[in-house]
Structure 1
């Protein structure tokens, strides 16, 4: 995810630039390198943030990584229980994660009640992100996006 989103939402994990820098090392060690573009969090400026990340990938990844790279795009899914927990320890994150104006209820395959972006909002965002990838990292094959 974009750096600003990672700093806010992906606490206690490796910085995004470190993860990007490791891609060639993993490839050289014999692993396939794919990128998990998730969660895509819709917030003001999300398109610019993802553009910056995609440009960064294009600028720094070696051609050998690009030739075999693929990505999964997963839009944010959230739930009320996690929302309540986060309100206690990380309320700033909930300002972008909990968006009832953009979200609808969803029952997951495991039976859990979650929220996700409404069908229209999600479809538009997936289309937008596919366009950003095509414009800024055309070498990055999207395996699936949902």
Structure 2
């Protein structure tokens, strides 16, 4: 009989499901069954649902930047993804391809990866034209540069990442999009795998799906000392309980340790976090992967984040950093070479000792 998770992981109430202050539906979104179902879900929860007369998002945000940010963050817009958003894009080192169900996230992370990369107010946009999104997926089967090319990950088949521009579990109670995608992959008899990572724990809609082992759920985690930068998310202990439930339901699972923050006490904090994972999964023998992503930021994301979260103590001073130019020509501030080397050695050692059955996919 599997042992239950240690009592130390029982603390922390799950995050309340996001309740946007308003749900806006464009005219085109209402032309799709999936868009209408999202509207029905929102109305059933007692949310304010407004149908727009056109496909232009009318936000009417406050003039005050702080209020405008808060109002945008509290808005769900149901829109139609244009062809440029439906076209699958490479997403190394995570997966072969990115598939987007939405754009934007209701969480309040003061290191947010989306800040500075998504244009306009931080509204969460859910896509109504799910059938058109699904139609793009088979076209890239057997192609890509990550799992289709790397012998160490060839067993995953062609991989599709669903959490690049959103946390799909954060909005699943409103959209149902992630469940639909999981079920679609479960019925697709192809050498392929869906992947998503999340900072939330509301996995109930996924547990009974016929997933066929073709979806890997990863919990995005950080030790308590640094999880304070993740406002509006589920406690890490709750995420680990959800990860266990998914493993018990037959899903392959994983950890996204991100962003790794090298600050005072980081080694003890992350060693403790990995021990908590081992405790949470005790008695199971899941297909477990680990992805390690160190903290980085751009000049534009720093500007946006310091405006959104002026009280954050997340270090973006540039100390101990080096510049890294991306393939798109932008410049990121990453940890310097000696810091990255020390962090990599630490995690490789600790994962081997604490989670010996886990596969480390990459460190970046």
Q: Which of 220, 226, 249 is equivalent to 1:5? A: 226
- What is the root-mean-square deviation of aligned Cα atoms in Å? 1.9
Structure with the largest fraction of helix: 1
Who is 1:103 aligned against? 321
Q: Which of 34, 43, 63 is equivalent to 2:263? A: 43
Per the normalisation by structure 1, the TM-score is 0.86
How many residues align? The count is 143
Who is 1:122 aligned against? 340
Per the normalisation by structure 2, the TM-score is 0.37
Question: 1:44 Cα deviation (Å)?
Answer: 0.5
Do the aligned partners of 2:297 and 2:332 also contact (CA within 8 Å) in 1? Answer: yes
Once residues 314 and 351 of structure 2 are traced to their aligned partners in structure 1, the CA distance between those partners, rounded to angstroms, is 23
Question: 1:132 Cα deviation (Å)?
Answer: 2.1
Who is 1:24 aligned against? 244
Give 3-state SS (helix, strand or coil) of 1:49's partner.
Answer: helix
Question: 1:67 Cα deviation (Å)?
Answer: 3.7
Once residues 91 and 125 of structure 1 are traced to their aligned partners in structure 2, the CA distance between those partners, rounded to angstroms, is 28
Give 3-state SS (helix, strand or coil) of 1:63's partner.
Answer: coil
Q: Which has the higher contact order (CA 8 A, sep 6+)?
A: 1
**Runs of 4+ deviating beyond 6 Å:** none
Q: Which of 277, 296, 299 is equivalent to 1:57? A: 277
Question: 1:39 Cα deviation (Å)?
Answer: 0.9
Q: 1:130 to 1:92 in 2, by over 3 A?
A: farther
1:88 aligns with 2:307: yes
Question: 1:5 Cα deviation (Å)?
Answer: 0.9
In structure 2, runs of 5+ residues without a counterpart are: 1-221
Question: 1:92 Cα deviation (Å)?
Answer: 4.7
Question: 1:74 Cα deviation (Å)?
Answer: 1.1
1:76 aligns with 2:307: no
